[in-house]
């Protein structure tokens, strides 16, 4: 298992001047003349004239927005060299090209991404838009002027961008059972992302998390395919209705990770070895079970929501059971990527490989490229991110070229991949408006958007226990607040926030849960993280406990410990155990023993084990998930400004040893069952 975390570059390139605006294309100025020619029945003459983009006296067919997209794609494809085609299939990382965007021009790169935490030197909306436009100009400076597609992980809002609205992670959204709200969040995310440059997001994860020890459980809407499917309105919010992709508040969406990323078996032999024991692992299930738990959400994602791209999973499938030798990596799975996804389900978008994922396939690099492109991967996320990796897309391009030259990859496969990618670019309107439309720039992090995030945080709270109607709190009493997650927006927002792994910082604009409590309570509020300050007998106690941020396999229970992230100050990552820390446990015990009432709020990406003896001391227990930047949404339900309506998106186990535990299991005996949630008022 390759989970070699390597340090990211510590120094960021200096800020760059704003890009020059591209001169409007000649054909656009001449459009009336073109229309006249068409009206005069001269269409054939225009189309048949031998032309190049360089002497853009008239629009080439592919440049004509009046023509149907398939015709534009066919025309453009017919003008492209092999190098241009392979360039379209190649995705580099921001760090790879930032110092020298002419790499985009010279290599005919079709796409660039920002990995988690890969942000412009000045992390502002305008700097993002300037950055993407600068790369865009480099793409347009090619003979055919094919625009660049820029992708980013807006998995809970445009989390990389400082000042963007940060929504609850998917597990909290699953708890809301509110697909219309999830669509609205998708739309806001799209607006904030596109206004700052990127036109494509690697979201939503339509994973079905079956084992909460998985470090990506919080990226899942829940443990049942039906719940996940109901939340695919996220795709509609991101992309709009068919035909709306070219609007300045929509982005291309990605259904990920195809398929079975949440269905991998925990590998005990890998626990505490520095590898990921469950993330990127193997689905050891029958094909029927795989269809039900892994593939099912993709059917509506494709047929009803028309998702534009699909990202294969790092994981493997082994339908035969037994030894691991039969396991097939999803990036190599032609039967699922091509036969099932593209042919049987009619997926007509494109497949983007995950981060250097093809490098986990067996064989030489040439074998890896050949296998994945022939399996149906259309675009290749091959970052270098110097000095992390010696090679990336710079190796991909000559390797694929060689494979085509030696007939190991057919020209038909290349043309199919490129047509799919170009179709998305045409539908996004990039040929007409390659540069960032900044109309909605001022909406980023707006009051209205924060209000939706606050509503989402409130709706996502699940009330698990409420002895003697402790909640909602009356508000006129004094309040005593403790716990590691009471005053930390970074812990509330989790991974994929400002950095890949997230961090325990208070940098993201918003309110902590403590801020929210201070605004809601009318009595005096005392805050003491470890509950060492005196606890007034008459106070209502609120202890906010939980996890610290993580992403991917670093969040696996038994996952690697790792200290490189400079944003974390080089401190080793907290071990993820699904258990409360000793400090949090002590704070709960103290407050519950001394305060008038005691409410425990668990801020975490998944259920956490509450031992029976501790539970007995707790009056009210709330699953808060990762509520995002609006801690006030949490206090809204604690103080009865809004009712508790959330329902568990996953089963809440009694012990870690119960994992994996899911509704419908034989002998199902969780602490709180899937769908459970008390209501107030």
Among this protein's residues, is 427 annotated catalytic? no
Cα–Cα distance between 533 and 543 in angstroms, integer? 13
- Per-residue binding string, ligand BGC, 212-251, x by CB under 6 A, is ----------------------------------------
Which phi and psi (to 5°) does residue 291 adopt? -60, -45
Cα–Cα distance between 396 and 393 in angstroms, integer? 5
CA distances from 93 to 112, 392, 427 (A): 5, 9, 23
Among 426, 480, 500, 639, binds ligand BGC (CB under 6 A): 500
Piece of the chain touching ligand BGC by CB under 6 A; list 112-120, 141-149, 405-413, 467-475? 112-120
Q: Least separation, in Å, of the C-beta of 3 and ligand BGC?
A: 8
Among this protein's residues, is 354 annotated catalytic? yes
147 contacts 430 by C-beta, under 8 angstroms: yes
- Per-residue binding string, ligand BGC, 176-205, x by CB under 6 A, is --------------------------x---
Kind of pairing, strands 309-312 and 350-351? parallel
Q: Among residues 8 and 425, whose Cβ is nearest to ligand BGC?
A: 8
CA distances from 602 to 288, 454, 653 (A): 36, 17, 14
Q: Is 117 in the site for ligand BGC (CB under 6 A)?
A: yes
Q: Among residues 116 and 633, whose Cβ is nearest to ligand BGC?
A: 116
Cα–Cα distance between 193 and 153 in angstroms, integer? 10
Q: Among residues 255 and 514, whose Cβ is nearest to ligand BGC?
A: 255
Which phi and psi (to 5°) does residue 668 adopt? -50, 120
**What residues from 574 to 593 belong to the interface with ligand BGC (CB under 6 A)?**
none
Among 133, 232, 247, 354, binds ligand BGC (CB under 6 A): 354
Among 258, 298, 355, 380, binds ligand BGC (CB under 6 A): 355
Peptide bond into 176 cis (omega under 30): no
What are the percentages of helix, strand and coil residues in the chain, rounded to 5?
40, 10, 50
C-alpha of 207 from chain center: 11
Q: Least separation, in Å, of the C-beta of 409 and ligand BGC?
A: 24
Peptide bond into 387 cis (omega under 30): yes
Q: Least separation, in Å, of the C-beta of 673 and ligand BGC?
A: 30
Cα–Cα distance between 183 and 187 in angstroms, integer? 6
Q: Among residues 91 and 371, whose Cβ is nearest to ligand BGC?
A: 91
**What residues from 547 to 566 belong to the interface with ligand BGC (CB under 6 A)?**
552
CA distances from 453 to 449, 550, 606 (A): 6, 21, 20
Q: Among residues 490 and 653, whose Cβ is nearest to ligand BGC?
A: 490
Q: Least separation, in Å, of the C-beta of 663 and ligand BGC?
A: 26
Q: In the complex, which residue's CB is closest to ligand BGC? A: 115
Strand partners, 208: 222
Q: Is 115 in the site for ligand BGC (CB under 6 A)?
A: yes
DSSP string for 434-500 = -S--GGGGGGTT-HHHHHHHHHHHHHH-EEEEEGGG-PSP-SSS-EEEESTTTT-HHHHH-SSBSBS
Q: Is 167 in the site for ligand BGC (CB under 6 A)?
A: no
Q: Among residues 313 and 662, whose Cβ is nearest to ligand BGC?
A: 313
Cα–Cα distance between 164 and 444 in angstroms, integer? 6
Piece of the chain touching ligand BGC by CB under 6 A; list 111-119, 291-299, 334-342, 363-371? 111-119
Catalytic residue among 552, 565, 568, 584: 552
Tell me which DSSP letter residue 293 carries. Answer: I
Piece of the chain touching ligand BGC by CB under 6 A; list 114-122, 268-276, 603-611, 617-625? 114-122
Q: Of the candidates 253, 241, 249, 237, which has an alpha carbon nearest to the alpha carbon of residue 187?
A: 237
Q: Is 210 in the site for ligand BGC (CB under 6 A)?
A: no
Q: Is 169 in the site for ligand BGC (CB under 6 A)?
A: no
C-alpha of 359 from chain center: 21
Q: Least separation, in Å, of the C-beta of 8 and ligand BGC?
A: 6
Among 64, 84, 153, 246, binds ligand BGC (CB under 6 A): 153
Angle formed by the axes of helices 447-460 and 631-638, to 10°?
50
Among 256, 342, 370, 590, binds ligand BGC (CB under 6 A): 256
Q: Least separation, in Å, of the C-beta of 627 and ligand BGC?
A: 21
Element (H, E) at 111: strand 111-114
Q: Least separation, in Å, of the C-beta of 108 and ligand BGC?
A: 22
Q: Among residues 258 and 431, whose Cβ is nearest to ligand BGC?
A: 258
- Per-residue binding string, ligand BGC, 8-47, x by CB under 6 A, is x---------------------------------------
Piece of the chain touching ligand BGC by CB under 6 A; list 28-36, 113-121, 595-603, 665-673? 113-121
Cα–Cα distance between 214 and 281 in angstroms, integer? 10
Q: Least separation, in Å, of the C-beta of 2 and ligand BGC?
A: 9
Query: Hey, which residues are catalytic here?
Result: 354, 552
Residues that bind ligand BGC (CB under 6 A): 8, 115-118, 153, 202, 256, 354-355, 500, 552
């Amino acid at each position: 298992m390759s989970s070699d975390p390597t340090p990211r570059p510590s120094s960021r390139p200096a800020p760059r001047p704003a890009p020059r605006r591209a001169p409007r294309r000649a054909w656009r100025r001449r459009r009336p003349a073109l229309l006249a020619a068409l009206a005069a029945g001269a269409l054939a003459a225009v189309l048949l004239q031998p032309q190049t983009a360089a002497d853009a006296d008239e629009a080439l067919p592919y440049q004509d927005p009046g023509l149907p997209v398939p015709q534009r794609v066919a025309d453009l494809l017919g003008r492209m060299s092999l190098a241009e085609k392979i360039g379209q299939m190649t995705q580099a990382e921001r760090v790879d090209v930032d110092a020298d965007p002419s790499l985009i021009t010279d290599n005919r790169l079709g796409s660039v991404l920002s990995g988690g935490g890969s942000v412009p030197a000045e992390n502002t909306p305008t700097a993002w838009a300037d950055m993407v436009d600068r790369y865009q100009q480099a793409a347009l400076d090619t003979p055919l002027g094919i625009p660049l597609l820029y992708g980013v992980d807006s998995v809970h809002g445009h989390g990389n961008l400082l000042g963007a609205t940060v929504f609850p992670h998917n597990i909290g959204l699953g708890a809301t059972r509110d697909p219309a709200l999830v669509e609205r969040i998708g739309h806001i995310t799209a607006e904030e992302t596109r206004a700052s440059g990127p036109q494509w997001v690697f979201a939503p994860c339509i994973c079905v998390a079956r084992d909460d020890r998985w470090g990506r459980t919080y990226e899942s809407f829940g443990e049942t395919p039906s719940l996940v499917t109901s939340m695919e309105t996220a795709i509609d919010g991101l992309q709009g209705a068919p035909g709306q992709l070219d609007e300045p508040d929509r982005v291309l969406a990605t259904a990920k990770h195809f398929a079975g990323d949440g269905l991998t078996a925990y590998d005990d032999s890998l626990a505490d070895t520095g590898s990921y024991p469950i993330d990127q692992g193997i689905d050891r299930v029958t094909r029927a079970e795989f269809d039900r738990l892994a593939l099912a959400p993709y059917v509506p994602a494709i047929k009803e929501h028309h998702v534009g791209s699909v990202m294969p999973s790092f994981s493997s499938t082994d339908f035969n059971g037994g030894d691991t030798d039969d396991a097939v990596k999803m990036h190599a799975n032609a039967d699922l990527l091509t036969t099932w996804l593209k042919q049987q389900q009619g997926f007509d978008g494109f497949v983007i490989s995950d981060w250097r994922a093809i490098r986990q396939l067996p064989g030489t690099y040439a074998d890896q490229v050949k296998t994945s492109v022939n399996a149906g991967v259309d675009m290749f996320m091959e970052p270098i991110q110097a000095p992390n990796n010696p090679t990336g897309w710079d190796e991909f391009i000559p390797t694929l070229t060689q494979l085509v030259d030696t007939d190991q990859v057919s020209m038909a496969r290349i043309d199919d991949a490129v047509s799919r990618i170009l179709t998305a670019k045409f539908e996004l309107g990039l040929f007409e408006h390659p540069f960032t439309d900044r109309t909605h720039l001022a909406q980023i992090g707006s009051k209205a958007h924060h209000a939706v995030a606050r509503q989402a945080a409130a709706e996502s709270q699940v009330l698990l226990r409420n002895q003697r109607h402790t909640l909602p709190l009356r508000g006129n009493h004094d309040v005593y607040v403790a716990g590691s997650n009471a005053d930390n927006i970074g812990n509330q927002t989790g991974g994929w926030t400002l950095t890949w792994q997230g961090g325990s910082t208070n940098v993201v604009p918003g309110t902590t849960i403590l801020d929210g409590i201070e605004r809601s309570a009318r009595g005096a509020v005392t805050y003491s993280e470890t509950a060492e300050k005196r606890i007034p007998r008459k106070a209502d106690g609120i202890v906010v406990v939980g996890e610290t941020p993580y992403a991917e396999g670093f969040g696996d229970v038994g996952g690697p410990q790792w200290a490189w992230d400079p944003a974390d100050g080089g401190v080793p990552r907290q071990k993820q155990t699904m258990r409360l820390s000793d400090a949090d446990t002590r704070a709960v015990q103290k407050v519950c023993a001394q305060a008038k009432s005691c409410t425990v709020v668990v801020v975490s990406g998944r259920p956490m084990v509450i031992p029976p003896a501790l539970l007995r001391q707790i009056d009210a227990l709330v699953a808060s998930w990762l509520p995002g930047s609006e801690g006030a949404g949490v206090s809204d339900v604690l103080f009865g400004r809004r009712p508790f309506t959330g329902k568990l998106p996953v089963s809440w186990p009694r012990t870690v040893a119960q994992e994996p535990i899911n509704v419908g299991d034989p002998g199902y005996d969780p602490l709180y069952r899937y769908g459970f949630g008390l209501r107030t008022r």
